[in-house]
């Protein structure tokens, strides 16, 4: 079984597969983005309280969700790589980090841009915002650690440990609005009972969320491909691949 997975996850096969997947997900991502942005900017109604500024929701919420999701992916892939020694997983974990950092940055930036007109402040030190900022630091620390350790295998394993230590932060971010009285609002969509958002706004929001997800998958695969090429530059299959291409 394990051998089977390993073979499937051999760098060569993965490279070929990822080339295809990038195309599919890239295409889907583009379509969804167009639909979501048009839906969000043109077709969705303004909010009864927030007016037009509510349109920031279509970029803020997906970014924020992805910032958490990517961290889980990073820690999960890292752990799998750590335990079963699957190279591909290490590469995926490592390539997720810059994307996760970008999403976190976007969540912080769009949140601030939304907070200024709505709350009246760019920034407050409440639990949600603070823990999200710590998430950004965690991503940056992970990236710094990766670049500081030479040996890729060792870097991947060390990174996995760091990611696992930091994962405590994820539930804190998610539940902070319930545990503490924050300025940030409580859950809207992710409530278990009916979401308290009108369907006309929910649809573009979900479209955008899907678009972000497809974007993440294709972007992470692209990065992983680069890393793989660099890692395996001396192996036979890379030589053949490049040799064919340059001819």
Contacts to ligand HEM from residues 24-53, by CB under 6 A:
none
Contact region for ligand HEM (CB under 6 A) — 105-113, 161-169, 216-224, 234-242?
Answer: 105-113
Is the CB of 29 or the CB of 76 nearer to another protein?
29
Q: Does 187 bind ligand HEM (CB under 6 A)?
A: yes
Query: Binding mask 19-48 vs another protein (x if CB under 8 A, - otherwise)?
Result: ------------------x---xx--xxxx
Of 29, 44, 103, 94, residue with least CA distance to 226: 94
Token output for 160: 């996995």
CB under 5 to 8 A by kind: which of ligand HEM, another protein, none does 16 bind?
none
Residues 67/100, Cβ–Cβ less than 8 Å: yes
Distance CA(145)–CA(165), nearest Å, equals 14
The residue within the footprint of ligand HEM, chosen from 57, 77, 88, 93 (CB under 6 A), is: 57
Contact region for ligand HEM (CB under 6 A) — 40-48, 90-98, 113-121, 219-227?
Answer: 113-121
Q: Does 108 bind ligand HEM (CB under 6 A)?
A: yes
Q: Does 126 bind another protein (CB under 8 A)?
A: yes
Classify 1 as helix, strand or coil.
coil
The residue within the footprint of another protein, chosen from 165, 173, 192, 206 (CB under 8 A), is: 165
Distances (CA, A) of 38 to 34, 59, 189, 197: 6, 12, 21, 19
Task: Burial-class residue 4 by CB neighbours within 10 Å (0-12, 13-18, 19+).
Answer: exposed
The residue within the footprint of another protein, chosen from 56, 68, 74, 210 (CB under 8 A), is: 56
Rounded to a whole number of angstroms, the minimum distance from the CB of residue 4 to another protein is 19
Residues in contact with 188: Cβ distance below 8 Å, sequence separation at least 6, in sequence order: 195, 196, 197
């Amino acid at each position: 079984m394990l051998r089977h997975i390993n073979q499937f996850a051999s760098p060569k096969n993965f490279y070929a597969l990822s080339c295809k997947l990038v195309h599919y997900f890239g295409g889907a991502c583009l379509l969804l983005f167009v639909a979501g942005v048009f839906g969000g900017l043109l077709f969705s109604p303004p909010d009864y309280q927030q007016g037009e500024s509510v349109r920031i929701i279509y970029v803020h919420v997906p970014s924020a969700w992805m910032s958490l999701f990517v961290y889980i992916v990073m820690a999960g892939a890292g752990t799998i790589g750590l335990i079963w020694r699957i190279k591909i997983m290490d590469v995926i974990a490592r390539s997720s980090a810059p994307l996760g950092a970008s999403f976190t940055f976007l969540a912080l930036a769009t949140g601030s841009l939304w907070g200024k007109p709505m709350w009246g402040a760019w920034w407050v030190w409440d639990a949600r915002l603070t823990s999200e900022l710590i998430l950004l630091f965690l991503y940056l620390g992970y990236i710094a650690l990766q670049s500081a350790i030479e040996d890729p295998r060792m870097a991947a394993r060390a990174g996995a440990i760091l990611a696992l230590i930091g994962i405590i932060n994820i539930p804190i971010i998610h539940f902070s609005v319930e545990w503490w009285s924050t300025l940030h609002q409580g859950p809207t969509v992710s409530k278990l009972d009916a979401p308290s958002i009108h369907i006309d706004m929910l649809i573009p929001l979900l479209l955008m969320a899907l678009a972000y997800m497809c974007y993440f998958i294709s972007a992470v695969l692209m990065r992983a491909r680069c890393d793989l090429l660099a890692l395996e530059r001396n192996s036979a299959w890379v030589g053949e691949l490049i040799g064919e291409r340059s001819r």
